[in-house]
Amino acid sequence: EATASARRDLEGRRVVVSAGGTREPLDPVRYLGNRSSGKQGHALAEAAAARGARVTLVSSSSLPTPVGVDVVPVETALELEAAVTDAARGADVVVMAAAVADFRPAAYADHKIKKTHATGADGSADESAPVVELVRNPDVLAGLVAARGAAGSPVIVGFAAETGDAEGTVLEHGRAKLARKGCDLLVVNEVGVGVTFGRDDSTVHILRRGSDTVTDVGPASKGEIAHAVWDAVLPLL
Ligand code: CTP
Ligand code: CA
């Protein structure tokens, strides 16, 4: 990325990137999680810093901190929401690359949940499987869009991993999601079994609100995709 790094076109800009899959705890040793590696978010932070931006990376990933980036470590969707909302104040761009869990366990057990429970006065063992009740997490991206109102700042970028299905193609799902979310750009990642998660190369489509223009990127490294995303953000600043 020698030429890309030579571009200081994000100089003076403050950007926020979220990265990684959130972990929603069930008890002190267990959580509900997802396969997001955090690689794309970390690559976005690294690329922005290389292009001169001041970068806050809100990350649930254990990947190393990119050079010149401030990291706020988080674990849960609620922690991520608080950290992103705080960092977004006065920022020029927020990129939501994190895979935020849509649901979290309704209850947190402060002791490790045991396989077998002793129940009743007779001490008979309960061998039944527990049922985990879930509740909705806040939609952080939708909250950011709602909070910026008519001002139009910061620029907000969403990510979506989609598969084609009976309801529509990857791009149709992406368009519908962009309209629903109201963000400025949506980076749509085509996923399937064994594809994309944790891999080094991926293919994405960058969709713009209010425009039919699609930018196809890849197969390319996460670093190349990161630079393509910042290229798409620049005209919106
Ligand atoms: N997102 C978020 N908060 C959530 C869920 C998602 O901010 N609780 C953000 C993600 O970081 C991503 C975008 O929303 O930038 C799209 O996430 P995705 O899971 O594809 O969208 P959902 O609206 O959750 O729809 P789906 O039912 O397809 O999961
Ligand atoms: Ca989701």
For residue 121, the model assigns a pLDDT of 78
Question: pTM for this structure?
Answer: 0.94
216-222 contacts, C-beta under 8 A, 24 or more apart:
221/43, 222/39, 222/40, 222/42, 222/43
Which residues of the chain carry a pLDDT beneath 50? 1
For residue 190, the model assigns a pLDDT of 85
For residue 197, the model assigns a pLDDT of 63
Q: How far apart are CA 230 and CA 163, in angstroms?
A: 24
Q: Are 202 and 194 in contact (CB under 8 A)?
A: no
Closest CA to 217 of 229, 203, 200, 207: 203
The one catalytic residue among 5, 34, 85, 215: 34
For residue 135, the model assigns a pLDDT of 98
141 lines ligand 1 (CB under 6 A): yes
Pull the structure tokens for residue 200. Answer: 């080094």
181 is in an annotated binding site: yes
For residue 198, the model assigns a pLDDT of 63
Q: How far apart are CA 96 and CA 98, in angstroms?
A: 5
Q: Are 56 and 162 in contact (CB under 8 A)?
A: no
* Cα-based distances in Å from 92 to 95, 98, 148, 151: 10, 18, 11, 12
For residue 195, the model assigns a pLDDT of 58
Q: How far apart are CA 50 and CA 55, in angstroms?
A: 10
ipTM field = 0.99
> Mutate which of 81, 102, 184 to test ligand 1's pocket (most atoms within 8 Å of Cβ)?
102
Q: For residue 189, indicate whether it is catalytic.
A: no
Closest CA to 209 of 228, 226, 233: 233
